Amino acid sequence: MNLQWLPKIDFPTTINFNITTVIDLLIVAFVMYRVFLLIKGTRAVQLIKGLIVILVGTVVSDWLHLYTFNWILRQAMTALVVALPIVFQPELRRALEKLGGGKFFAGSVFMLEEEEKNTMVIEVVRATQMLAKNSIGALIVMERGTGLEEYIDTGTKIDGKISAELLVNIFIPKTPLHDGAVVVRGDRILAAGCVLPLDESPHVSKALGTRHRAGLGITAQSDSVAVIVSEETGVVSLAVEGVLTRYLDEASLTEHLNNVLGTKTTIGLSSLWRWR
């Protein structure tokens, strides 16, 4: 099997395991883990799968002496070397921005303190109940493992302590940031007025508006969680992994969020009384 076109990599014949080697391996493993978190749930995963298919096809076609097909795949691999920086431009840009801003090593919502996640659930539920009562439309996206920086960049940065009062004020009609999504990470509101990808599935009910389609779209492309309040009916919905659960009351919304985020928050009428 002729694999001369593949790049030659010189591996060390012997490896001396010492403290430096262990540190080196740990650093490489951690960087690879952070890169995986960066692309997890994005279109880059599908692109990488496509590259693997082409690579496997190239090796197999060479082994089976399918010369014409092998030549086509090798030309495709050569072209992809040039195209990769363009194809992965959004992911590369976010990685460099994180590295330059010192955020590459920042944790996701799964690494947050339990108190921060509890605060997020409590304040989001409180705000949702008040918004629903007054039929004020809202879209609140809670970041989990997949970073949402490319969507945060489309809105107005806030980076403020989360509270029901702040969330409600953001979505008051005719205010500058009401017509868009709020992105939340832990107990911080990162940005408001964000533009999200819309779900284009033909199976989505025509009765659902742009907010619901945006909630379905962002949760289908990432592992985030979206809470939607309908402006027309005040109905509260929850989108997870591109699936919408509607007609949620205070208790059911809290239960769903606790299950998805792995929290143990409880919220009752006393919290709403405090909000009033």
* Domain residue extents for the chain: 19-100, 109-275
Q: Tens digits of per-residue pLDDT, 39-88? A: 665 556 667 777 888 889 989 988 998 889 889 988 888 887 777 777 66
According to DSSP H, which parts of 134-264 are helical? 149-152, 164-170, 210-221, 250-261
Run of H or E residues at 226: strand 225-229
Sign of CA dihedral 252, 258, 259, 264: negative
Helix (H, G, I), strand (E, B) or coil at 218: helix
Question: For the whole model, what pTM was predicted?
Answer: 0.63
For residues 8 and 234, the model is more confident at 234
Give the tens place of pLDDT for each residue, 188-226: 999 999 999 998 877 788 788 899 999 999 998 888 999
The strands making up 156-161's β-sheet, listed across from edge to edge, are 156-161, 188-194, 181-185, 138-142, 225-229, 236-240, 243-245
- pLDDT for 271 equals 43
User: Could you confirm whether domain 109-275 is CATH 3.40.1700.10?
Assistant: yes
